[in-house]
Amino acid sequence: MKFKDYYEMLGLPRTATQDEIKQSYRKLARKYHPDVSKAPDAEDRFKELGEAYAVLKDPEKRAAYDQMGSEWKTGQDFQPPPDWGAGFEFNGSDAGMGTGSDHSDFFEALFGRHSRSRQQPHMQGQDHHAKVMIDLADAYRGTKRSISLRIPAYDDQGHITTQERKLEVSIPKGIRAGQHLRLSGQGGPGFGTGSAGDLFLEIAFNPDPQFRVDGRDVFMDLPLTPWEAALGTSITVMTPEGPVQLTIPPGSIAGRKLRLKGRGIPGAPHGDLYVVMTIALPPADSDQARDAYQAMAKAFDFNPREPRKG
């Protein structure tokens, strides 16, 4: 297990006051909140921050953490000292950090002794949430996913442990990023005669260099040569559904969209696929190429900085 320097994570010296800790956490939490930030590592950063804050805001935990001394560095191999936590009493109140008790091994080893939450004799199980990444093409066809869930559970002594649970889920055609699938009865177990909770799967698309999605509509860029755009042509384009033969009309200009009706994400109604034309200029990197550009310069009476005539 690796040591985590919670002060470093919050950008603070070990002498920071409780107010400074709160201030720094708030500021960084706003910056890295996964719902607000678009930084790719926002989610991990935010979890780290939450963990650091859960320890440092609590005077008992902070004192115990500080007792290990300031020699430790982030990433160093670490085992809790044998007398760890002697004389301190932690309660499980840090579990309310919103995004769940998904703490690091380091945190669990030091502070993971949650007290068992009070359970009512008959209670419906909790609803659980998980995120599933799929490709855009999966939304066109539907797909099946094997999902591993780590579910916190209490063992006989009331300690929190994680159980792994595997589910095979079929993801329907037409699903979009941001939508949720509800799997009834697949959440937390109920207590007594209470029924099990539901499992909600939030769908997200894997980043795609080629396609952009807006609702059910899908957009893609199609680079053309100047002569293809000017003279028109027929080309094969790879859409999320596979290759499509596309007619480029003569006189096409950059930025013009070709709409392929009903070839967006399926649904009621189907989305459309928009092919956005861009024009790529060949480099003038040989005598032949330069001659060709010279010939064009002679052939055209064309000044793009002047309004077009007639």
- Of the two residues 166 and 305, which places its CB atom closer to another protein in the complex? 166
Residue 46 found at the interface with another protein (CB under 8 A): yes
User: Residues 9-28: x/- map of binding to another protein (CB under 8 A)?
Assistant: -----------------x--
Residues 57-116 that bind another protein (CB under 8 A): 96-99
Residue 29 found at the interface with another protein (CB under 8 A): yes
Question: How many residues of this chain bind another protein (CB under 8 A)?
Answer: 53
**DSSP of the chain:** -B---HHHHTT--TT--HHHHHHHHHHHHHHH-TTT---TTHHHHHHHHHHHHHHHTSHHHHHHHHHT-S---TT-B----TTTTTT----SGGGGSSS-S---HHHHHHH--PPPPP--SSBPPPPEEEEEEE-HHHHHH-EEEEEEEEEEEE-TTS-EEEEEEEEEEEEPTT--TT-EEEETT-SSPPBTTPPP--EEEEEEEPP-SSEEEETTEEEEEEEE-HHHHHH-EEEEEEETTEEEEEEEPTT--TT-EEEETT-SS-SSSPP-EEEEEEE-PPP--SHHHHHHHHHHHHH----TTSPPP-
CB of 16 to another protein, least distance (A): 19
- Of the two residues 68 and 190, which places its CB atom closer to another protein in the complex? 190
Residues 204-243 that bind another protein (CB under 8 A): 207-208, 212, 214-215, 219
Residue 40 found at the interface with another protein (CB under 8 A): yes
CB of 172 to another protein, least distance (A): 6
CB of 272 to another protein, least distance (A): 14
User: Residues 114-153: x/- map of binding to another protein (CB under 8 A)?
Assistant: ----------x-xx-x-----------------------x
Q: Give the separation between CA 191 and CA 120, rounded to whole angstroms.
A: 7
Residue 164 found at the interface with another protein (CB under 8 A): yes
CB of 109 to another protein, least distance (A): 17
Binding site residues, another protein, CB under 8 A:
26, 29-30, 33, 35-36, 38, 40, 46, 50, 96-99, 124, 126-127, 129, 153, 155, 161-172, 174-183, 186, 197-198, 200-201, 207-208, 212, 214-215, 219
